[in-house]
Amino acid sequence: MRLLIIGSLGGQIGAASQIAISRGATVAHCGDTAAALASLRAGNGADMIMVDVRHDIRGLIEALAAERFSVPVVGCGIGNDASEAVRAIKAGAKEFIPLPPDAELIAAVLQAVTEESSAIVYRDPAMSEVLRLAEQVAPSEASILVTGESGTGKELMARFVHQKSRRAKQKFVSVNCAAIPENLLESELFGHEKGAFTGAIARRIGKFEEADGGTLLLDEISEMDPRLQAKLLRAIQEREIDRVGGSQPIKVNIRVIATSNRDLEAEVKRGTFREDLLFRLNVINLKLPPLRSRPADIDMLAEHFLHKYAEVNGVPFRPISAQTRVKLHAHEWRGNVRELENTMHRAILLTRGEEVEPEAIMLTSTMSAASPSGETAAGDIPSDGAGDMRGLVGRTVSEVERDLIIDTVQHCLGNRTHAANILGISIRTLRNKLKQYAEEGVRVPLHGDTDRAMA
């Protein structure tokens, strides 16, 4: 855990730092947000930022997003002024920590961030076998390709490999190749010099340099443009990179893990992925089974997510009824663990009785099973093919596509990346579609928007 603290905090920063260090965190300190951003650009990454509420938290979060730094921000301030906590959360902070620091509270926040990024919940033998192989190969220096359908937990597996490797005490750096515009991805990976292109206002250290000594995750690598793949291949083979606008190659020492939800051999045949890069990445292949092939995990994961979101939303935990378990096991889970997580998040919000009943399980797949009574539960799309066709006849293709996209984004609680993966399109295409719909006056779900799901 790398913690970056911003601000003086009235002399309390030393105590907060010592608590974090005692819990295993590496702590860095910057006096203001400008210095913090400069530190991040210089390759001094962070897993969490703790910032004094007297600083501009909203401006910091907007600047982080603009420069594609994906780091959770926690606000903190002296005293127990509730208004300060409210302002911090409204500005986009994940949590608020009052100071002087409480050791257990800081430890809990650090643990929550760590668990969210690394916990693998499983029971099924199919998943056990993959984890056994992952643990066996983790201490090596071999490149690893993690494959599997969208939502199966490929990034979690990559983090598991890092934690079991000889580089576990070094950095784990992730870059989502699907979420970064094509013209910016080269700079994101290799960095750039000041003035290298319009908007390059300062030197920026890329992910390769940031991960030096540790592990670099190239998430959804199949989305990378073939021209950039050639530069990536050279960087992996030669263990050196060239910053955009730079004049000297820079040596790096990293272990590469890549993920993909596509069949890369098929992509090679289509000409969209380089065969030599595939050979370089695919020294070891960890293939994650889809959720439908690991039924023993469904109940365990469902209970795990119910506990998680009951706590997050401040509502009582309710167990799953027997009929609900039948419904969960009958579903296809095309979105895998991610779809199950979103489903249980909605369920805990919709449940009013003593147990989570089938009517709280809102499924969108046309493969949904009918309830034990033979009726389709609320939120399900009827699985009768003729009924589906009757609902489509008379509508244009663009209308059907629009509703499918909007419903999928809603199903993912507004998460664009998850929705794009389920739809099988790039995040760029999805964003363009949603922008078009918004301009046409269609209500586009925001992140965390559950109004339509509850309607």
Q: For each of the chain's 455 residues, which pLDDT tens digit applies?
A: 788 988 875 567 677 777 888 877 888 888 889 999 988 888 787 888 988 888 889 999 888 888 778 788 888 887 666 777 788 888 888 888 887 777 777 777 776 665 555 568 889 999 999 999 999 999 999 999 999 998 899 999 999 999 899 998 888 999 999 888 877 899 999 999 888 887 777 888 899 999 999 999 999 999 899 889 999 999 999 999 999 988 899 999 999 999 999 999 999 999 999 999 999 999 999 999 999 999 999 999 999 999 988 887 888 999 999 999 999 999 999 889 989 998 999 999 889 899 999 999 988 643 333 333 333 333 443 333 333 444 555 667 777 788 888 888 887 777 787 778 777 787 778 888 888 888 888 888 775 444 333 33
Show the tokens assigned to 76. Answer: 């903190």
C-alpha to C-alpha distance for 210 and 216, rounded to whole angstroms: 9
Task: Note whether 29 and 18 are within 8 A (CB).
Answer: no
Could you give the residue range(s) of every CATH 3.40.50.2300 domain in the chain?
2-118
C-alpha to C-alpha distance for 177 and 222, rounded to whole angstroms: 8
C-alpha to C-alpha distance for 348 and 332, rounded to whole angstroms: 21
Residue 329's identity, in one-letter code, is: H
Residue 79: the pLDDT is 66
- Name the class of domain 2-118: alpha beta
Query: Is it true that domain 125-289 has CATH number 3.30.70.20?
Result: no
Taking residue 301's Cβ as centre, other Cβ atoms within 10 Å add up to 23
Task: Note whether 56 and 6 are within 8 A (CB).
Answer: no
Residue burial 322-350, b: 16+ Cβ < 10 Å; e: rest? ebbbebbeebbbbbbbbbbbbbbbbbbeb
Contacts of 194 (CB under 8 A, 6+ apart): 200, 201, 202, 203, 245
CA distances from 114 to 27, 70, 300, 319 (A): 15, 15, 20, 26
Phi (first) and psi of residue 218, to 5 degrees: -100, 95
Q: What is the CATH number of domain 293-454?
A: 1.10.8.60
Q: Is 34 helix (H, G, I), strand (E, B) or coil?
A: helix
Strand partners, 254: none
C-alpha to C-alpha distance for 241 and 135, rounded to whole angstroms: 29
Q: How long a stretch of residues is the chain?
A: 455
Residue 265: the pLDDT is 94
Could you give the residue range(s) of every CATH 1.10.8.60 domain in the chain?
293-454
Residue 378: the pLDDT is 37
The end-to-end CA distance of the chain, in Å, is 40
Could you give the residue range(s) of every CATH 3.40.50.300 domain in the chain?
125-289
